[in-house]
Amino acid sequence: MRQIIQFVLCVSILLLAGARSLLAQADPEWTEPFPPFHIAGNLYYVGSKGLANYLVTTAQGNILINSDLEANVPLIEASIEKLGFKFQDTKILLISHAHFDHDAGSAKIKEMTGARYMVMDADVPVVESGGKLDFQYGNTPGSLYPPTKVDRVLHDGDEVKLGGAVLVAHLTPGHTKGCTTWTMQVTEAGKTYSVVIVGSPNVNPGYKLVHNDTYPQIAADYERMFEVLKSLPCDIFLGAHGAYFGLEEKYALMKDGGANPFIDPTGYKEFVAQKERDFRAELAKQSLAAK
């Protein structure tokens, strides 16, 4: 009897885990529209509720960060146009990291706008294989997407320049091998602010931090990523998902007028510190289990 109960429990847990991963792949908030808005200077939010996209506007055309799922492309286009800019003026496409929720729509956006696609070196094979060379999700059908040609391979510290705008690509690896945190300066009402758009500090469920054959240096890369994030000056705190920096709460505050809630250096420091604690707890757990 006890064996039967254990078997049923095991099957239920497996089913639940499966359902959860399916849910994660089709998070309804990812494709839920969100009002586009001005963040500061020449920087705008053009993402959905769950997936963040940023538009940097210049007189020589615009830079778009992240392409999201293919289903998000019409939403991104509509958000850009709603702000009074032209989707067709997208000259450069960048990503936070090579996961399908941030890069699956890239082929479509390149085709529609002719934008040049610029990706961090270690994420290039993943992007150009449509996700097949991802160390974790390469064999997960739901995580694959149209392979997309990269037009410029970026290296740590490289600058992406257009019409006076300068974005710096910081390699913040671990979550993917080429995970990228973008920084730029914006000027608003005579003041200059340092913007940080975090790539991802998350250790996903199922990530092996110890004895990982497809990504042996993963733990060292996470360590390096936290050092980089802690070293970046940050006034305006943003990231690849709105949940990182409290998009909805801050947007609501913004509508009330007053100080710009996205200027949040303390929130940034607390976020990075919390994610580092999460990483260290997971690393300790996995190291103990591997002994």
Secondary structure element (H or E) that encloses residue 101, with its range: helix 100-103
CB of 287 to Zn ion, least distance (A): 23
Window 70-129: residues binding Zn ion (CB under 5 A): 99
Q: x/- string (CB under 5 A) for Zn ion, residues 226-265?
A: ----------------------------------------
CB of 2 to Zn ion, least distance (A): 40
CB of 27 to Zn ion, least distance (A): 12
Pick the closer one to Zn ion by CB: 64 or 126: 126
Strands 61-65 and 116-120, by their bridges, are: unpaired
Does residue 49 interact with Zn ion by CB under 5 A? no
CB of 46 to Zn ion, least distance (A): 19
Strands 180-188 and 191-198, by their bridges, are: antiparallel
Pick the closer one to Zn ion by CB: 263 or 272: 272
Beta strands (DSSP E) in 52-179 are 54-58, 61-65, 90-94, 116-120, 152-154, 159-162, 165-171
φ/ψ region of 241 (left if φ > 0, alpha if ψ in -120 to 50, else beta) reads beta
In angstroms, the CA 100 to CA 104 distance is 5
CB of 200 to Zn ion, least distance (A): 5
Q: For residues 180 and 199, is the Cβ–Cβ distance under 8 A?
A: yes
CB of 102 to Zn ion, least distance (A): 6
Window 180-209: residues binding Zn ion (CB under 5 A): 200
Which two tokens mark 136? 């974790």
Pick the closer one to Zn ion by CB: 99 or 250: 99
Pick the closer one to Zn ion by CB: 85 or 226: 226
Tell which residue, 20, 138, 3, 115, has the closest CA to residue 61.
115
Pick the closer one to Zn ion by CB: 61 or 174: 174
What is the total count of residues that contact Zn ion (CB under 5 A)?
A: 2
Tell which residue, 232, 140, 158, has the closest CA to residue 195.
232
Pick the closer one to Zn ion by CB: 172 or 200: 200
> Applying CB under 5 A, which residues contact Zn ion?
99, 200
